[in-house]
Amino acid sequence: MHDFAFVFAGFAVGLIVGLTGVGGGSLMTPVLIFFFGVKPHLAIGTDLLFAAFTKMGGTVSMARQRLVPWRVVGLLCAGSIPAALAALWLLHRMGPATAQAQNLMTSTLGIALLLTAAATAYKVLAFSPQRQAAELAARRANAANAAEPRHWSLPVLLGAVIGTLVTFTSVGAGAIGVTVLLLVFPHLPLPRIIAADIAYAVPLTLVAGLGHASLGSVDWPLLAQLLAGSLPGIWLGSRLVSRTPERLIRSALSLLLAWAGAKLVLI
Kindly report the pTM of this predicted structure.
0.79
d(CA 72, CA 166) in angstroms, rounded, equals 18
Domain count, the chain: 1
pLDDT in tens, 32-83: 988 898 988 899 999 999 888 878 877 887 788 888 899 999 999 999 999 9
Torsion of CA 119, 236, 5, 210, to 10 degrees: -60
Residues in the chain: 267
Other CB atoms within 10 Å distance of the CB of residue 98:
12
CB–CB of 235/18 below 8 Å?
Answer: yes
Burial 189-203 (b: 16+ CB within 10 A, else e): beebbbbbbbbbbbb
**Owning domain of residue 91:** 1-266
pLDDT in tens, 124-180: 666 555 555 555 555 454 444 556 766 778 889 989 988 998 898 888 777 677 778
